[in-house]
Amino acid sequence: MDYLYRLLLRDTDLFTPHFLRLAVLSGLANAGVLAIVNMAVQGSAKGTASQLRSLILFCLALAIYAYSQKRLMVDTCERVEKLICDLRLRLLAAVRSSELLEIEKIGKAEIFGNLSRETQVLSQSMPNIIVAVQSAILLAASMAYMFFLSKLAFFLLAAFTAIGAAFHLARAKQASKHILEASRNDDTLIEGFSDVIDGFREVKLNKAKSDQLGDVIRMVSHRSTRSRILVHTLNAHDFVLSQLTFFALTGLMVFVVPAFGQVDTKTITMTTTATLFMLGPVGALVGNFPVFNNANAAARQICELEDKLLAGRNHRRSVGPLDTFADFREIDIDAQSFTYPAAKDENTFSVGPNSITIKRGDCIFVTGGNGSGKTTFINLLLTLIPPTHGQIKVDDVIVNEGNLAAYRNLFSVIFSDNHLFKTLYGTSAFTASDAAQYIEDMEILHKVQIVENRFTTTDLSGGQRKRLALVTAQLERKPILVLDEWAADQDPVFRTKFYRQVLPALREQGYTIIAITHDDRFFDVATARYHMEDGMLVSMT
């Protein structure tokens, strides 16, 4: 339970005297019920006054238990839910502060799984964990009461409990391994289902691809199922064994304890009653071992993801002013290169070293075949990936981590696989008439409008979604537009309009444009053209 304890100890105040007092009070009150019942049974012959006193004590114990248990569960769940909220927000902040290569290395499935599934496991587990902890306290209080009744019975109980606990802990390690394996298989399942949904058209058109993807998902699903069945089997064995152990212990109290000493009938009755009373907390404790294991596995996944995301935090500086380069005149890419890491016996692919100067107001076209390095060049320009060599200067100021956010703030980008946000996040203030005009210029005002800072729909064709993305970029009002194969999804008429009317209009509005394109009929629109071949950028003007 090391990872779960790490989260609870670090991020909550569950171990303060207030919570410990409530837990102990609840456990003692619960054990007190047993002692009072035994006392009432033994004093039944003493008259009405004795029974009335026992009844009053019984009701008092119940009231104390009800108050302390309710406060304990409500306060604990409240703090744990705040912990989970803080965890989500902390993971989100870590994701937002990470770089592209880090996120790609971790993978979308692991991040989604931890932000949703694992935090949900923690949330659902906490009421059961509280009951289990409370049962452990009740068990300890009951054992103390047993010591008062009979030392021999106490030592038998302690021995059986110690053996059972050691056995359960050993089995818990096996269960944790299978739970972790199942969780990782679930991440693979998320990836597989994402492939089916995100690539539905490709899957629908290629039966071999569909069958192979289905086979992989089926195999991983069966593997996850086997792991979870093993966990349930281990838990079932543990539960049955714990019940048999305490039934055997009850038999010992009746048949063995009297044989080893002069024990009166009342003591035997009380020790037997106490043993049977402990079946409830023992059952709750053992029955919640799977919950502990699941919660610990979830906590481990979350802690490991957080460690991965925060691994580079020491290298990141605070964000400076975002308008540092707002009035830039030119950007110099100076001998910048990037080499992809390669697996053993594989050739590496490098882009650069490349140098280019981008002046304010330029309209630069970049051409090149698939795999030539255009996307890598754009990612280097945008500082989404760190260069192996070289640097970027803005008006002779070197871009570094201190002004990196200000540099990135110069760009609005529409990638070839661009994600279109339905809500207009991060836009500058705009009027309804300006937004309507931009949408009208894209010839889709009859299909979509902006209401309460959201597009009324994004259920459009690929080309129309790119037009909406361009509307968003204009509303962001950044000085540089980067367009990656933007016109590829447009019909011939609008493609001509884009090059002959939209791009010139954007330049008149003050935008600097960098476009990856293959439309050679419109190369005359550009102020400069570069061609990418085998990672090298060559000027064509």
Supply the mean pLDDT for the chain.
79
How much is the pLDDT for 106?
79
Tell whether the model's pLDDT for residue 497 goes beyond 90.
Answer: yes
Token match 């692919």: residue? 349
How much is the pLDDT for 329?
93
φ and ψ at residue 537, rounded to 5 degrees = -100, 120
- Give the highest mean pLDDT range of 128-132, 172-176, 473-477: 473-477
Q: How far is 272 from 34, CA to CA, in rounded Å? A: 12
Q: For the stretch 88-97, what's the b/e string if a residue is b when 16 or more beta carbons lie within 10 angstroms of its beta carbon?
A: eeebeebeee
More confident site: 471 or 187: 471
Q: How far is 42 from 26, CA to CA, in rounded Å? A: 25
CA-based end-to-end distance of the chain: 65
Q: How far is 537 from 406, CA to CA, in rounded Å? A: 26
CA dihedral sign, ordered 241, 247, 250, 251: negative
How much is the pLDDT for 254?
67
Structure tokens at 347: 């050739």
Over residues 8-36, the mean pLDDT reads 69
Lowest-pLDDT range of 11-15, 289-293, 329-333:
11-15
Q: What's the whole-model pTM score?
A: 0.66
Give long-range contacts, CB 8 A cutoff, 24+ apart: 3-9.
3/296, 3/297, 3/299, 3/300, 3/302, 3/303, 4/292, 4/295, 4/296, 4/299, 6/299, 6/303, 7/83, 7/87, 7/122, 7/299, 7/302, 7/303, 8/80, 8/83
Identity of residue 367: T
Q: How far is 288 from 293, CA to CA, in rounded Å? A: 9
How much is the pLDDT for 467?
93
Pick from 245, 243, 227, 100: nearest CA to 158: 245
Identity of residue 141: A
Q: Please, are residues 364 and 377 in contact by the beta-carbon 8 Å criterion?
A: no
Lowest-pLDDT range of 196-205, 212-221, 426-435, 447-456:
196-205
Q: How far is 437 from 422, CA to CA, in rounded Å? A: 18
Q: How many CB atoms lie within 10 A of CB 192?
A: 19
More confident site: 354 or 73: 354
Q: Please, are residues 355 and 324 in contact by the beta-carbon 8 Å criterion?
A: no
φ and ψ at residue 261, rounded to 5 degrees = 175, 170
Q: How far is 97 from 313, CA to CA, in rounded Å? A: 8
**DSSP secondary structure string, 327-361?**
T--EEEEEEEEEE----TT----EEEEEEEEEETT
How much is the pLDDT for 314?
47
How much is the pLDDT for 210?
77
How much is the pLDDT for 197?
72
Per-residue HEC secondary structure of 76-107 comes to HHHHHHHHHHHHHHHHHHHHHHCCHHHHHHHC
- Give the highest mean pLDDT range of 181-185, 355-359, 457-461: 355-359
Tell whether the model's pLDDT for residue 317 goes beyond 70.
Answer: no
**pLDDT tens per residue, range 38-87:** 666 666 556 566 667 777 887 888 888 788 777 777 777 777 777 777 77
How much is the pLDDT for 10?
64
**pLDDT tens per residue, range 191-245:** 777 777 767 766 766 777 777 778 888 888 888 788 778 777 776 776 677 667 6
Reading across the β-sheet that carries 330-339, which strands appear in turn?
350-359, 330-339, 389-394, 397-398
How much is the pLDDT for 242?
65
H helix count then E strand count, the chain: 17, 12
Structure tokens at 141: 């209080």
CA dihedral sign, ordered 45, 48, 50, 51: positive
Please report how the helices 207-255 and 265-287 are oriented relative to each other, as an axis angle in degrees rounded to 10: 170
Structure tokens at 488: 């590829």
pLDDT band for position 14 (50/70/90)?
low
**pLDDT tens per residue, range 369-419:** 888 888 889 999 999 888 989 999 999 899 988 888 899 989 999 998 888
Tell whether the model's pLDDT for residue 472 goes beyond 80.
Answer: yes
Conformational region of residue 451, where left means phi above 0, alpha means psi within -120 to 50, and beta covers everything else? beta
Q: How far is 101 from 99, CA to CA, in rounded Å? A: 6
Strands (E), 385-534: 389-394, 397-398, 411-414, 450-451, 454-455, 480-484, 512-516, 528-533
**pLDDT tens per residue, range 110-125:** 777 777 777 777 777 7
How much is the pLDDT for 506?
94
Token match 């452990």: residue? 136
**pLDDT tens per residue, range 323-334:** 889 889 999 999
Token match 């444009």: residue? 513
Over residues 504-520, the mean pLDDT reads 93
Q: Is 529 helix (H, G, I), strand (E, B) or coil?
A: strand
pLDDT band for position 280 (50/70/90)?
low
How much is the pLDDT for 509?
92
